[in-house]
Structure 1
Amino acid sequence: MDKELKKQLEEFKAQKSRILGRLLSRAFRLVVDISSEHLVQAGYESYRLGHLILLVHVNVDGSTINELAAHIGISKQAVSKIVKELQEQGYVETEKHPDDARSVLVKITNKGARFTLEWKVCTQVIDARFQEILGADRLDLLKDLLLDLADYQENKVQEELTEASAPRRMQWLDMLQQKAAAYSLQDGRKK
């Protein structure tokens, strides 16, 4: 490697701790660690991030696969797979849509409602831990900044969303699920 290239590489590596993607990834690991610990203590050991994401998006009176796919931003096939997993575990049930015989209505069961509400408690635990670390004002600022970024991205995605982009979003969700699984606690230890 030539000297100039080596120098540039060393300068870049010296600043790697401030790379936004790396910081977000490390913060995400903290969220996963805190949530995994809480959910395991609450008795939920076999869950995936995709399960929680889907349950949060199911309307109280039920949602169709198409509605869930649009809200979450993944393919209908991916949503159907997650719904099947949740149905097998008793978190959701499906029934024919009363107004559209071609659609299935996904409804949360009592078990699914309890799990979703436990996630609500878990988010409060995460907020409390982050507030201990950052303080209330900085936590509010962090949330405001992340909301601005998320809103920007969602608006951009809505404008650009095509069938071709759905596989990329599914890959992204799968990657998040794999990272969450890698950091979930098993017998009090990280996997």
Structure 2
Amino acid sequence: MSAGHRQGLVDEVARIVDLSGELRVSSQGLGQLVKHLEREGYVELAADPDDRRAKLIRRTGAGDAVVGQVSALLDGVEQAWRAEVGAERFAVFREVLGELAAKLR
């Protein structure tokens, strides 16, 4: 998985209710996590102009930096695993993981 695929669900702007559905968690639980991330400066919340009850979530520069750091770490792990088992076996591994992940959705 390349860094571009790891950007996460909130690339631009997302609503808590939409993310909670994607993640299969309660809106209340996700809202608590988002509030924590907001206090830490990783995301910012804004009112949704289309729905007064909804909040929009947007990553901040600090949030983008963390996403970049995690992506770089994961890229390093993938490179090490690919070197360990070979490109062909690693490709099969990734394909199987993708199939399993799709079934979870």
**Alignment TM-score, normalising by the size of structure 2:** 0.87
Question: 1:163 corresponds to which residue?
Answer: none
Matched, 1:57 2:17: no
* Deviation for aligned residue 1:78: 1.5
Show structure 1 runs of 4+ deviating over 2 A: none
Question: 1:129 corresponds to which residue?
Answer: 80
State the distance in 2 between where 1:79 and 1:139 align: 33
Deviations 1:1-35 (A, max 9, x none): xxxxxxxxxxxxxxxxxxxxxxxxxxxxxxxxxxx
Question: 1:102 corresponds to which residue?
Answer: 53
Could you say what secondary structure the match of 1:58 adopts? coil
State the distance in 1 between where 2:26 and 2:95 align: 29
CA-atom RMSD, angstroms? Answer: 1.6
* Deviation for aligned residue 1:147: 1.0
Equivalent of 2:20 in 65, 69, 90: 69
Identical-residue share of aligned pairs (%): 25
Deviations 1:53-103 (A, max 9, x none): 9x721131x111111101112111111111011111100010111111111
Provide structure 1 residue ranges, at least 5 long, that are not aligned to the other structure.
Answer: 1-52, 155-191
Which residue identity is paired with 2:11?
N
Structure in which a larger fraction of residues adopt strand = 2
Which residue identity is paired with 1:144?
E
Which residue identity is paired with 2:32?
K
Retained in 2: the 8 A contact 1:90–1:112?
A: yes
Structure in which a larger fraction of residues adopt helix = 1
Q: For this pair of structures, how many residues does the alignment match?
A: 100
Question: 1:145 corresponds to which residue?
Answer: 96
**Alignment TM-score, normalising by the size of structure 1:** 0.49
State the distance in 1 between where 2:78 and 2:17 align: 32
Q: Which structure has the larger Rg?
A: 1
